[in-house]
Amino acid sequence: MPKKTVGDVDVKGKRVLVRVDFNVPLDKDNAVSDDTRIREALPTIRYLSGQKARVILISHLGRPKGKVDDRYKMDPVALRLQDLLGRPVRKVDDCIGDAVQAAIGEMRDGDVILLENVRFYAEEEKNDEGFARQLAGLADVFVNDAFGAAHRAHASTEGVADFLPAVAGFLMEKELAVLERILAAPERPFVAILGGAKVSDKIGVIANLLDKVDSLIIGGGMANTFLKARGLDVGKSLLEVDKVDQAKGLIADARAREVKIFLPVDVVAALAAAPDAEPKVVPVNQIPPEWMALDIGPASVEFFTGALKGAKTVFWNGPMGVFEMAPFAGGTENVARALAGMEATTVVGGGDSVAAVKKVGVADKITHISTGGGASLEFLEGKKLPGIEVLQEK
């Protein structure tokens, strides 16, 4: 069932607590270096403000581990939000308590305030009922627009919905619509590209996608476990030995379902994962014993690009190598370029994959860039996401 959204409820003059995902990167000067997540929340914020709601925004930033940490204060986020909105945004130095109640009491219809980092309280991640009740006491309606945190059962994503009517924001609605469509009724052929370091992070996703996709492309460190499952020696490459048998099982399941699995045919290898490493390209069956595979090679890029030809739906999550280091970024960047040139529905999720499409300047050529890497993976795994389950159905 589709979820109710802010457009389905009367918010005029009401205090609306909006859980946003403003967990954005900050540069060395403590300014926001990538404001994508803030921009994605603007339609919901502008709508609520235009409907004369009193908009109370709450988010986490970083991992302050349940205590106040000046590095993760929301002040730079408030400044950037104010610039983007083109109107004042008051930043409050707490997220519960008398000062917050006083600031909300002074709000007028249409005003926007941003509360302090909700993870400064350990009770947030514990989904403490008393803390959730205090958050709920700030408002009349709860809106969850933080898809990136929807897989977390925290006080500000799930617990607060026990005490307030809860609906989706427009970003949450958009994310769900795109992901539900590619899972339930993708235009075919449907190809999934999975990368990243560990198979263990994505075994459930692969197992669920084998019933949905026509082909599966696997790169990154997790490909080593599948190469090992096929009997190849991967040298000193990252390898999850305890997952090799599961990889064999997934390969067998794919064969039984007539789903093609594409693995690298060559890699960019080096003696160490270092920015000044001397890389060399080798076939996957010739990785030297002391070397490690750190990116897919040019033949693999060509192989994967060929596997994408004719696809009508593509989902990509996870880099093809150690993307943050220049010698090993090429594979990920070339996959990003390949997606950008396709006439297909292309969906990209996960920090490194999203960074890649931005770095090579093709973000505007991707159909949908998800704001939730972990959330999108759990959704595609078929899991129920706590922050979505609690929202009212239409």
User: Which residue has 């427009």 as its token pair?
Assistant: 170
pLDDT value at residue 258:
96
User: pLDDT for 79-122, tens place per residue?
Assistant: 999 999 999 999 999 999 999 999 999 999 999 999 999 999 99
Confidence tier at 1 by pLDDT (50, 70, 90): low
Q: What is the mean pLDDT of residues 368-384?
A: 90
Mean pLDDT value across the chain: 96
Confidence tier at 161 by pLDDT (50, 70, 90): very high
pLDDT value at residue 355:
87
Q: What is the mean pLDDT of residues 386-394?
A: 96
**What residues contact residue 131 under an 8 Å CB cut-off, 6+ apart?**
96, 121, 123, 124, 155, 159
Q: By percentage, how much of the chain surpasses pLDDT 70?
A: 100
Query: In angstroms, rounded to a whole number, what is the distance separating the alpha carbons of residues 321 and 300?
Result: 12
Specify the range with the lowest mean pLDDT, choosing from 99-113, 239-253, 364-378: 364-378
Query: In angstroms, rounded to a whole number, what is the distance separating the alpha carbons of residues 114 and 57?
Result: 5
Query: In angstroms, rounded to a whole number, what is the distance separating the alpha carbons of residues 156 and 289?
Result: 49
Confidence tier at 321 by pLDDT (50, 70, 90): very high
Residue 138 tokens read as 């700030």
pLDDT of residue 381 exceeding 90, the answer is no
User: pLDDT for 202-217, tens place per residue?
Assistant: 888 999 999 999 999 9
pLDDT of residue 134 exceeding 70, the answer is yes
Query: In angstroms, rounded to a whole number, what is the distance separating the alpha carbons of residues 262 and 265?
Result: 9
pLDDT of residue 315 exceeding 80, the answer is yes
Q: What is the pTM of this model?
A: 0.91
* Ramachandran angles phi, psi of 162, nearest 5°: -75, -15
Q: Would strands 368-369 and 345-349 be described as parallel, antiparallel, or unpaired? A: parallel
**What residues contact residue 241 under an 8 Å CB cut-off, 6+ apart?**
228
pLDDT value at residue 46:
98
Query: In angstroms, rounded to a whole number, what is the distance separating the alpha carbons of residues 383 and 385?
Result: 6
Query: In angstroms, rounded to a whole number, what is the distance separating the alpha carbons of residues 74 and 81?
Result: 10
Q: Would strands 141-144 and 112-114 be described as parallel, antiparallel, or unpaired? A: unpaired
CA proximity to 110, closest of 85, 133, 129, 91: 85
Query: In angstroms, rounded to a whole number, what is the distance separating the alpha carbons of residues 350 and 348?
Result: 7
CA proximity to 57, closest of 127, 130, 143, 124: 143
pLDDT of residue 343 exceeding 70, the answer is yes
- On whether the CB atoms of residues 226 and 248 are closer than 8 A, the answer is no
3-state secondary structure string across 191-208: EEEECCCCCCCCHHHHHH
Q: Would strands 166-168 and 141-144 be described as parallel, antiparallel, or unpaired? A: parallel
Beta bridge partner(s), residue 296: 267
Most distant CA pair in the chain: distance in Å?
A: 69
User: Which residue has 């922050």 as its token pair?
Assistant: 387
Report which secondary-structure segment, H or E, holds 260: strand 260-262
User: pLDDT for 57-69, tens place per residue?
Assistant: 999 999 999 999 9
End-to-end CA distance of the chain: 7
**Active site members:** 37, 198, 351, 374
Q: What is the mean pLDDT of residues 311-317?
A: 97
- On whether the CB atoms of residues 262 and 217 are closer than 8 A, the answer is yes
pLDDT value at residue 380:
87
